[in-house]
Amino acid sequence: MKHMMHTLPLLLLLLFGAVHCTNAQNASAYLGFGTATASSSGQGIDTFGTGTPFFTPRMGGLFATLGGDYMFRPHLGFGAEASWRVRQGSYAGLNYRPSFYDFNVIWQPITASKRVVPEFQGGLGGVKLSFYNNQQSCNAFTGCSSSSGLLAASSHFQLHFAGGVHFYVKPNLFIRPQIDAHWVNNFFQFGSSVVPQYSIAIGYTFGR
C-alpha cells in the first residue's frame, strides 16, 4: 500500500509534465470513492487454534480510488489507478485491507472537447490482501491501548476492465461515475474471481 502511494503521485507528475513537453492532447487526475464486492468463500478457519472456526466474510466497505491518464491521441491514451479499502475489515478473526492497482489502455470514442466524454479501459495489474492482528494491552500506569500489526500479505495478478463517463461541469473539472471489473487470479480468499467495483470520482483535465 505504501509503495503504491509513493509510486502513483510520481506517475501522475510525469503524466502532467508530458502535456507540456509533447503534442499530447491532455492529461487528467482524479480521486473517487465507492465500493468493491465479492462473495464469501464460505470457509471456516480455526485462526487461533481454539477449536472454534471463524467464517470468511464477503468483500465490501468504502473504497478510495486515485488515478490519472494521459491521452496522446484524440481518442487513445493510457492510465494508471489504485483502489484500496479505506478502513480495515474483519476477516476470520483478523483484520484485512484489500488494494487493487492497474495499468490500462484508454479509449474515448468522443474527444475531451465535448462536455460528456465516455471512456473505456482495459489493462492488467495486481491485488494485495494485507492481514493484521489487533491486540489490546492494559496496565495501571498508561491505561489500555490497542495496536495493529501486519501478519501476512497475499499478492495476485489481475485483469482490469472499466467503463465510465466524464461529465464536465466546468471547462476542466469533471465528475465521473465508473464501473470496474477485476478478474483476480487464484482469489481463493473469496468466493469469486470477478470483483465488480462501483465508484464516482471528481477530477481535473490539464491541457483541455
pLDDT tens string 79-93: 999 999 999 999 999
Sequence-separated (6 or more) residues with CB below 8 Å from residue 47? 53, 54, 92, 93, 94
pTM: 0.85
Q: Which of 18-27, 37-46, 60-69 has the lowest mean pLDDT?
A: 18-27
The CA distance from 34 to 5, in Å, is: 18
Q: Grade residue 150 by pLDDT with cuts at 50, 70 and 90.
A: confident
Return the H-helix or E-strand segment holding 8: helix 2-21
Would the pLDDT of 104 be above 60? Answer: yes
Domains present along the chain, CATH in parentheses: 2-41+71-86+103-123+159-206 (2.40.160)
- Amino acid letter, 31: L
Average pLDDT, whole number, for the chain? 87
* Number of neighbours of residue 79 by Cβ within 10 angstroms: 25
Instruction: Say whether pLDDT at 14 is over 90.
Output: no
